């Protein structure tokens, strides 16, 4: 049976694209927190292409953030993100988040007495939500100390579009700003991947290390980390997306 966009509801699309952050707490999520979220200091943060789960990564930096801006081209995803945050604020105990909370405490990314309920309230207090397409729209007027992009940076069609996205990112970073990103290429363009491309959750280019290196250098961003471990599929990654690329780049 061939899967089409008509077969998948908006809610199912959110689950397909963003459901991997839920329990069980995977090695992929641990790597994102350790490699991309832990280095974030007490600064202004833009989650670019935040999707429906940007709140999840914000749990790991909210206590160090001055302000958080969640941006996505889809108002549906932003509404889902706000809904999840409001639900977390109302619940005093969140059993399904116990593993991630323990991890964040062990890594000293949150206070020892923190609860998911309290962290969600802090995220809402510090956040604004902006509908913005980083491929089509002009750069945002504000500048940020950190731009976080989890599985969004390469929703592009070709190298020129990737270059354009990196140029906009450069303009939105402060003089000492840093881009912290992860992107997981697909192995084959199967039916699900085609749907994700159509919905602009994935892209035609499917960039590798070389594509990112060219775009970062072209736009004057110094590469701090550009790594992809292909030794074994990372636990928590879908079968067609086994090897994430971790990117940290900064203004020179």
* Mean predicted lDDT score pLDDT of the chain: 89
d(CA 37, CA 175): 20
Query: What's the confidence (pLDDT) of residue 5?
Result: 46
Task: Please spell the DSSP secondary structure of 175-224, one letter per residue.
Answer: EEEEEEEEE---SS--HHHHHHHHTTSS-SS---HHHHHHHHHHTTPEEE
* 231-244 pLDDT per residue, tens: 888 887 888 889 99
CB 158 within 8 A of CB 204: yes
Mean pLDDT of 38-55: 93
Confidence check: pLDDT of 16 > 70: no
Lowest-confidence pick of 62-76, 167-181, 197-211: 197-211
Q: What percent of the chain clears pLDDT 90, i.e. is strictly above it? A: 65
CATH architecture designation of domain 5-250: 3-Layer(aba) Sandwich (3.40)
Domains of the chain, residue spans: 5-250
* 130-148 pLDDT per residue, tens: 999 999 999 999 999 999 9
Confidence check: pLDDT of 201 > 70: yes
pTM of the model: 0.92
- CA 38 → CA 21, 33, 131, 154, 179, distances in Å? 17, 6, 26, 22, 13
Q: What percent of the chain clears pLDDT 70, i.e. is strictly above it? A: 88
d(CA 137, CA 2): 34
Terminal C-alpha separation, the chain: 51
């Amino acid at each position: 049976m061939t899967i089409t966009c008509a077969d998948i509801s908006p809610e199912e699309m959110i689950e397909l694209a963003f459901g991997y952050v839920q329990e069980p707490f995977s090695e992929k999520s641990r790597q994102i927190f350790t490699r991309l979220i832990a280095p974030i200091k007490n600064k202004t943060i833009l989650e670019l292409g935040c999707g429906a789960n940007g709140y999840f990564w914000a749990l790991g930096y909210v206590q160090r953030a001055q302000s958080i801006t969640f941006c996505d081209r889809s108002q549906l995803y932003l509404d889902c993100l706000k809904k999840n945050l409001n639900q977390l604020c109302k619940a005093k105990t969140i059993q399904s988040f116990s593993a991630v909370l323990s991890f964040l405490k062990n890594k000293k990314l949150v206070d020892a007495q923190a609860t998911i309920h309290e962290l969600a309230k802090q995220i809402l207090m510090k956040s604004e939500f902006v509908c913005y397409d980083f491929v089509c729209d002009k750069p945002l007027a504000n500048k940020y100390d950190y731009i976080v992009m989890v599985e969004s940076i390469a929703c592009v069609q070709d190298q020129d579009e990737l270059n354009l996205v990196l140029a906009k990112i450069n303009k939105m970073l402060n003089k000492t700003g840093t881009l912290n990103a992860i992107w997981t290429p697909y192995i084959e363009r199967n039916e699900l991947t085609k749907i994700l491309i159509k919905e602009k959750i994935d892209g035609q280019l499917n960039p590798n290390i070389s594509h990112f290196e060219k775009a970062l250098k072209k736009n004057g961003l110094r590469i701090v980390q550009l790594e992809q471990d292909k030794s074994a599929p990372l636990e928590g990654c879908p079968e067609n997306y086994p090897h994430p690329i971790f990117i940290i780049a900064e203004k020179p």
